[in-house]
Amino acid sequence: MFHRGDVVVLNDNLGHYRGEAEVILKDIPNDGQRNLVGGLSREISWTVSIAVVTTNHEKSAEDIVGSA
C-alpha cells in the first residue's frame, strides 16, 4: 500500500511511463508498477502535491483546490 506523501517511480511494467516520478495524493494499493523511493512529511505533502500537479498540467493552484 502506498500512502499520501509517498514518492514513487514507475518501473518497467508501465512501458513508456517508466522512470516517471509521482507523489501519491491518496492511498493506493501496491500493484507492482511503482517503486517507493521516499516520502514527504505530512506538513508539506499537500503543498508539494499542488506544485507537482500545477507543473504537470499547467493549472494554477486555485484551479486545483478552488477559490477560498
pTM over 0.85: no
Own/partner contacts of 6-15, CB < 8 Å, gap of 24 or more, are 6/36, 6/38, 6/39, 6/40, 7/36, 7/37, 7/38, 7/39, 7/40, 8/34, 8/35, 8/36, 8/37, 9/34, 9/35, 9/37, 10/34, 10/35, 11/35
In tens digits, the chain (68 residues) has pLDDT values of 999 889 999 998 878 888 899 888 889 999 999 999 998 876 655 555 555 544 444 544 455 444 44
pLDDT of residue 41: 73
